[in-house]
Structure formats: structure tokens, C-alpha cells
Chains A and B, each alone.
Chain A
Amino acid sequence: MDMNFQIVKLVENAKKGDRTAMERLVDSFHDDIFRMVYYRTRSQMDAEDLTQEIFMKMLKKLPVLKDAGKFKPWLFSIALNRVKDFHRKKRILIFLGTTMQIDNDRQTPAKDGDNPEDCLMRKEFWKHFHRFARILSRREREIFLLRFVDYLGIREIAQVLKKSESTVKTHLYRAVKKFRQNEEFRDLFKGEL
């Protein structure tokens, strides 16, 4: 059975209150949403907590989702809003001096079986990732990540951001242009993985 069709069936059943369907939906998107949040927070703990909240919100709002076919962009828009809210609150707390941006927060925990070389590569990657993300505008960054690390299509991104497809493409075009001009960053991805 086609994956998208399966998801649509699960969404329809979940909307009717089928708990198993709800749990299977979560299983299908858990890793994607967790990673999506992690790329934007760079903290495993925050990503885990936010992912839990996102799925609780999904559960709460599911009855008002009109088109089951748009579940994925709908879920990603919940996630993106939650991440934005998280950063907004964090900025306020930093501004008020009640919290500090701690570098440790942005450290990536080692994966099992990581050798020192992998560890070094991982650090290098996130350093360059962060540096590149900073040369993009907020909108360019948002769209570039949704397209190339979250694997959403142009139409889906337009649905997530509630923008026209041409607007999405304009920002994506600019972001890809900056990517192509950044030789140092591109060098990381030239070989075979």
C-alpha cells in the first residue's frame, strides 16, 4: 500500500478517536519531528520535550484538521510554531538575564560506537552548519532546512508556512545560491557518504 495512502487512512481513523491509529501516526513521524526540532534547537533534551508537546498538541487539534492528505505539512507547522515559541521564550529569558545561552546546550551527545574521527566530523559539521545558517535570512534558513534536511516538497513547505509556492521558491533559490557560493561548506559534502 502507498505510504501516503496509509498515512491518510491512519489520520482518518485517528480523527474518529482510534487510539491505535493515533499511536501509529506518532510512530511514523516521531523520528522526523524529533530531528526537525533538534536541527533547530541543537539540544537533545529540549528536542525530546518539545517533540512530546508537539504530539500532544497534534492529538488535541486533530479533530479540526480538515484535509487528512495535508497531515504532514500540518504536523510540521505545529512543530515549527512550537520551536519558534521556544526560541521566543528563551530570548526573553536571556534578555531578562534569568538564563544564559550555554555552549554545552549545543553539544551533540556521542552516539554509541562513535570513534574519535566521527566525533570530530560531527563537531565540524555542526560548526559549519551553524555558520552557514547564520548567513541565510530567517526565511531562507527556514525554507532551506524544510527542503533539504526535513525533505518536504515545495508545495508542502508552502502549506507549512502558509505562503505561495513562488514565494517559497524565491527564498529557496536565494538560499541555494548562497550554498553554492560557499565553497568551504560545500567541501564537506562533495565526497560519497
Chain B
Amino acid sequence: MKNKDMHLNHNGLIVSVVDENDLTSGNREHLFTCSICKGEKEQLEKELKNFGLMAKKFAPLPRKKIILFPETSRNSWLRRPVYAAGFAVALLMIGLWWYQSVQVPQKNMTAELLLETEKDRQLMTEIFALEDNVLPDSCLFVSKGDYSYLDEEFMDFVIPVAKIQNNDGYFLYLKQKSMLMA
């Protein structure tokens, strides 16, 4: 039996799918005339084609557009790195200046207010202390203690005070006092 009268074997069929021109002339001639071999070849080709179609069918589509020329290379001066960096530095300087001229005085004002409140509080404490202890600190040790038992009568006995009616009386009182001290 000549080659052209024989059906293509498994290998021949695959060669015919990969590249028909690689078949021997006998095989090629047979394939041309044999509907069985042609059918088998077409079936294998169809399966391979369906494989490709199914891969395509079950693959997603790209969602992003390809950007060949980003905006950076176009007109916008702000998008050039050098200018952008300069702009950023300028913004930073303005920011710092603003911080110093607005934020810092605000901070100082708050500090001053707090200081004054503290001074006021100290002053009031001193006033209250004066009200409680009219004698200077150095004399406090003499007057320390409870003298509530020394009533007015006893005090009058120790230091007799003339009734001050007028200026003359006042002088009289001073006269008596100077006589006692002499």
C-alpha cells in the first residue's frame, strides 16, 4: 500500500496541524483526498481554536487606558519636578512666616495673660494675709497666740484711754500718755 493510500497516524495528524507543509508528499496527497483524515485534522484544529476563543472569552478586558504622554510633560509648569519643588519650598516659607507672625504672638499673649492672672492672685493673697496679720513679719512672734480672754475692761486698765471728744481732748490724751512714759 502506498503512503498516499494510508490514513495519517497520530504523529502525521499533529504535523498536519502544526504545519501542513512538513507532511511527506504522500501524506499530503492522502489528506487532500481522505475525508476521514481531513475530518480528524479539522476536529483537532477546531478544539485548538476553541481553546483560544475560550481563553479570550474568560479573560477580563483592561479597565485602565494606556497613558503614553502623562500630563507632566505637557504645559503645566507646576508638574515639572524642579518647579514643583520650588513651589513647595515657597509654600513652606510662607507657612513658617505665618506661623511666626500669627501663632507665636498668640502664644505670647496667652503666656502674658497667665502671668498677670498669677500676679493678681499673689497680690490678693498678700492683701488677705495683711488683713489677717497687720503686724510686720518680724513682730509676729510677739503677738502670736490667742488674746481673746483680754477683754476691753482689762485693756482699759492697762492702757487708760481718755474719751476723745475734740482736738483739745486729743492733746490732753497725748499729755497724759507723755506723763506716763516720762
Contact = CB atoms under 8 A, between A and B. Distances in A.
Interface of A: 19, 22-23, 26, 30-31, 34-35, 38-39, 44, 47-48, 51-52, 55-56, 59, 108-109, 111, 121-122, 125-126, 129, 148-149, 151, 154, 169, 172-173, 176-177, 179-180, 186, 188-191, 193
Contacts, number: 97
A193 B57 contact: yes
B64 A48 contact: yes
Contacts of A129: 55
29 contacts: A19-B69, A26-B68, A39-B55, A44-B63, A47-B62, A48-B62, A51-B66, A109-B60, A122-B58, A125-B54, A126-B58, A148-B48, A148-B51, A148-B52, A173-B14, A173-B15, A173-B18, A176-B17, A177-B14, A179-B47, A180-B13, A180-B44, A188-B50, A188-B51, A189-B46, A189-B48, A191-B50, A193-B50, A193-B53
B120 interface: no
B2 interface: no
B59 interface: yes
What 4 A-B pairs come out closest when comparing CB atoms? A189-B50, A34-B62, A189-B47, A122-B58
Interface of B: 10-11, 13-15, 17-19, 22, 44, 46-64, 66-69
Nearest to A54: B66
A163 to B, nearest CB: 15
A134 to B, nearest CB: 16
A133 B44 CA distance: 18
Contact of B62 (A31, A149, A191, A193): A31
Given A19-B69, A52-B67, A169-B22, A38 B60 contact: yes
Contacts of A35: 55-56, 59
A191 B10 CA distance: 22
A191 B62 CA distance: 28
Nearest to A26: B66
Contacts of A151: 52
B44 to A, nearest CB: 6
Given A44-B60, A154-B18, A173-B14, 18 more contacts: A19-B68, A26-B66, A35-B55, A38-B60, A48-B64, A52-B64, A55-B66, A108-B60, A148-B48, A151-B52, A169-B18, A177-B10, A179-B47, A180-B10, A186-B47, A188-B54, A189-B47, A189-B51
A187 to B, nearest CB: 9
B58 A149 contact: no
Contacts of B54: 125, 188-189, 193
Nearest to A51: B62
Contacts of B58: 108, 121-122, 125-126
A131 to B, nearest CB: 13
A59 B62 contact: no
B64 to A, nearest CB: 5
B62 A172 contact: no
Given A34-B62, A109-B60, A149 B68 contact: no
A30 B62 CA distance: 8
Nearest to A171: B18
A48 B63 contact: yes
